[in-house]
Chain A
Amino acid sequence: MPPITPPALPSDDKRWKIVSGTMRRHGFARSALIETLHTVQSSFGYLDKNAIQFVARSLHVPLSQAYGVATFYHHFSLVQPGKHTITVCTGTACYIKGTEKLLGELEQKLHIKQGETTPDGNVSLMTARCVGACGRAPVTLADGELFGQVTSEQLQSELERWAIQ
């Protein structure tokens, strides 16, 4: 195989160097696609088409294949998330302990459906397929911080805090 010359970084943004670093660490192997997308997601918060194209071209992965991978895994988001994210666990233990109701309340309060972001870009409402803290069900994550045996009052106060910030 001819030596790979990766395409130029999309911009001066330092985060692209981190992305490029992940690819280099894996020798620009095609199999590094998912690992690299993880780096993009953690650096930029989401994957846009530019980023997918840059990674695909760098790793010599067909564009459609890279896009197919990016959209297959639910961990990857193709839209910019809100400033804050509230993630409701919808695993079985949480379901048994009434997570559906919590989710419904949040949807009502925020006027958005799960997977969406409020129009002002402040809060994204997400669901997770079990975060593995079933012993503390029902569980939600507020900006990554885990809350166990959560109540609607707790969620309400968290939302109020974010609204002021």
Chain B
Amino acid sequence: MNLEELQQIAASVHADNEQFDFEVNVCQGTGCLSQHSDQIMAQLIKVVAEKGAKVHVRKTGCMGLCAAGPLVLVEPENQLLQHVGVQHAESVITHLGKEPEKELQCNLREHFDQQVHVVLENSGRIDPERIDEYIARDGYEGLVKALTEMRPVDVVQQITESGLRGRGGGGYPTGLKWGMVAKAVSETKYVICNGDEGDPGAFMDRSVLESDPQRVIEGMAIAAYAVGASKGYVYVRAEYPLAVSRLTASLREARRRGFLGNNICGTPFNFDIEIRLGAGAFVCGEETALIASIEGQRGTPRVRPPYPAASGLWGKPTLINNVETFANVPPILRKGGAWFAAIGKGKSKGTKVFALTGKIKNTGLVEVPMGMKLRDIVEGIGGGVPDGRTFKAVQTGGPSGGCIPAELLDIEVSYESLVQAGSMMGSGGMIVMDDTSCMVNVAKFFMEFCMTESCGKCIPCRAGTVQMHELLSKICEGRASMDDLDLLIDLCGTVKEASLCGLGQTAPNPVLSTLRYFKQEYMDHIQNKRCSAGVCTMTHEGVTA
């Protein structure tokens, strides 16, 4: 395969599409599928066949605005249709080229116009299981370019220049990581894609794997070439069956087209990928735990160093990046590191995909340039809080992150600014809360999560999260004293500083950040036995047998 052959494939796809007057893309992501978008698609195909219309009905991945699902996108008009039901199929087809029915029109300009799609550029626009459609949208150009025109060190250089940082949460510079693995001396090296998206309230990785799996495969192959690996693993949550099946099909397609296997693109480069299923353990998002899990063991993290870059899977140098990180790689190779570095602000380059959920109008998946104001995401793209309620906080970073209050809505979204605000970027969950959410209860919710997800290896996390959860329950039930609050703060300190891995070290964050911005709510629960949001039920201590 060379660039010319790629272009030929692309041309044939374009020629195929030319035969049609219209393309009707039907979202078949998890969100829309739960509203039977598969039946809608079948009905659309039926109507098209009956009418003999020159319309291509295409199954695609996620279109982002899950709140308005099931979604249908009509091309070339680029008209998005919302809340489409089976009963609308006839109308959708007959209105092609004309103005669609009023109730179906989705014209949320403020939602779409401020977004910049790099990772999601193909989501909702291609059939995720047809590799040629990916190729038709410049897919695999990056890999071919890397293999035929660049040395591994040049690839690393481009990534470094792009300023891309780990999208899994930590924000470690990707180029630096690649360089370390590339320099490690070993016959065998591995590339692992971390798709163990465990943050509750985050579904970016699921969506990318469902909507544009080839992009991740290409990113991994480029990485493997850059670091000198010949074997890769994608670790996906078992809770994502659709992502797994699309990825499986895509791996087969990639092998068929010769992007995986031996002598890729006629070069001596060999690389193949296997899928490994997670089995319901949040801690496996931690890289050493994930490695243990791929090795077939209990997913308990181990002390670093040595880092996986030096000693990872089966003791070999291993590159681990998150799904979204790999998904950013193909366009960087295609358009150059400098292009990517021009998007974003400061030390946070490129875009970030967020899963915008909770008490917000436009729930769904959004991709924005780094450095955008939080307010623009919540109020602009998200459309603000519904039902006339008041915004209270936005939670980012999942159980490792924190809650950002209204007065900080004008901060820019970057790795540094979010940490400064007591939260973190995390993998991209962004959960909006209104005045019906009790912040102490939210802290308790996250603590319960950390407690049940703690692997149990180190004492501060295993036993500390249990005690913190107990103290938070006491506060929520109106049984706590000020001494209990002091004890909670004290425990936060030890769990944060003494835990072995990131799960424990960040477990106190939701408590610390809510204490920082919503201390009054804690005091209200403790001193006045009152929950202003009306979430907590105060009970009195049972004293008898």
Contact = CB atoms under 8 A, between A and B. Distances in A.
Consider the complex of A and B and state whether they touch directly, i.e. have CB atoms less than 8 Å apart: yes
Interface of A: 29-35, 37-38, 61, 65, 68-69, 72-76, 90-97, 128-137, 139, 145-148
Contact of B31 (A68, A130, A148): A148
B67 to A, nearest CB: 6
25 contacts: A29-B296, A30-B296, A34-B279, A34-B293, A34-B296, A35-B276, A69-B296, A72-B298, A92-B358, A93-B358, A96-B358, A128-B239, A130-B203, A130-B239, A132-B207, A133-B31, A134-B355, A134-B357, A134-B429, A136-B31, A136-B34, A136-B66, A145-B34, A146-B30, A146-B34
Contacts of B395: 92
Contacts of A129: 198, 200, 239, 280, 282, 449, 453
B359 interface: yes
B74 to A, nearest CB: 21
B295 A31 contact: yes
Nearest 10 interchain pairs by C-beta: A135-B66, A91-B200, A73-B279, A92-B201, A75-B280, A132-B203, A93-B357, A74-B280, A33-B296, A130-B200
Interface string B193-231: 000011111110011000000000000000000000000
Contacts of B295: 31
A92 B445 contact: yes
B199 A130 contact: yes
Given A38-B277, A132-B239, A136-B69, A92 B398 contact: yes
Contacts of A33: 296-297
Interface in B290-314: 293-300
Interface string B457-480: 000000000000000000000000
B431 A96 contact: yes
Given A29-B296, A35-B277, A76-B280, 13 more contacts: A31-B296, A32-B296, A72-B455, A73-B281, A75-B239, A92-B395, A92-B398, A92-B445, A130-B200, A134-B201, A135-B67, A135-B365, A145-B34
Contacts of B280: 73-76, 129
B404 interface: no
A132 B358 contact: no
B43 interface: no
B414 to A, nearest CB: 22
A113 B422 CA distance: 36
Contacts of B69: 135-136
A28 B314 CA distance: 16
A6 to B, nearest CB: 16
Given A35-B277, A93-B201, A93-B358, A131 B429 contact: no
Interface in B252-290: 276-282
